[in-house]
Amino acid sequence: MLSYLKLIKFDNLLIIAFAQLCIKYGLFEPFNIAITLNGLGIAILMIATFCIAAAGNIIIEIYNREDTGEKGLLYGSITEKSANRLFIIFNIIGVLIGFYIANLINRPGFAALFIVISGVFYIYASYLKEIIVLKNCILALLVGLSLIVVGIFDLLPAITEKNRESQTVIFSIILDYSIFAFLIVLLREIVKDCLHIDRDHNIGIRTIPIVLGKNRTTKLVGVLTLLPVISVIYYIYTYLFSNSRAVIFVLILIVAPLLYFMIKSFSAESDKQFKRLAFLLKIILIGASISLLFYQFVLV
């Protein structure tokens, strides 16, 4: 069982699911805005997202294995045939649930979103991951989209002329958080490229660390970290400034770790240091998700 959880990157999927729940119950429910999905509906949407993302992680793992020419079982117990079968099963379940929930909200065209995301994962694994920079942006974009999808399915169908302004404000917050998630995941993908530089070099994949070198890449990561830092400080000033507890929380659990990450990234050299940096970015994503719960106390 542990091997299968590693295959689908279960810990990463949990972070996405947690963020979706925080959007639903931190932004939607407290403000009594018009929504389309009830508790069961959001659970179904989360399952669909989970399945599509799990399938994407599986196909990426399969292609990585083929590229490196490794033999034997995946994670010590999973055959490639079983992994391919699981990839197909997760995709079918995700797309079918996507069709169901799209029809449930009377927006059948929305189902195409799940098909497109599934296709992008496959194209990424088989081709796009070999394109420098784009490979990092694609995965970051998909994670950001996993947050936006909550607004697409829950908010957009309920928009009317009377509630358009309030719905737009909430959707803009989701969009901003999606951009933040994009930036964090982009940083994490670059850090992971530093971890896999030898493997990528051996199989002929051009990544940022291979082109620039590890030393320059770590400096680049440090500079890029300024973008999420500035965005969070702007958000504190715009939305949370009136609530001192919220400000302190965001400073401790998001800004401080980001600054620590930035400082440490400049001097990172060993695999152990890069693994710590990648883990720290996961913690930052969780902290950002929790911050969604503060809006009910400051936007009233």
pLDDT at 93: 96
pLDDT at 92: 95
pLDDT at 79: 85
pLDDT at 299: 61
pLDDT at 191: 95
pLDDT at 68: 67
Q: Which residue from 207, 143, 188 is spatially nearest to 278, judged by alpha carbons?
A: 188
Enumerate residues 6+ apart whose C-beta is below 8 A from 139: 124, 185, 189
pLDDT at 300: 55
pLDDT at 298: 67
Low-confidence ranges of the chain (pLDDT < 70): 68-69, 72, 298-300
Domain boundaries, given as residue ranges, for the chain:
2-298
Q: What does the block give as tokens for 78?
A: 């999973």
- In one-letter notation, the amino acid at residue 151 is G
Tell me the CA distances in angstroms from 201 to 29, 73, 134, 191, 208, one per residue in order: 49, 23, 17, 15, 11
pLDDT at 187: 96
pLDDT in tens, 129-160: 778 888 889 999 999 999 999 999 999 888 88
The CB-side HSE value for 297 (13 A sphere, CA atoms) comes to 12
pLDDT at 205: 83
pLDDT at 28: 87
Q: Look at the chain and count its residues.
A: 300
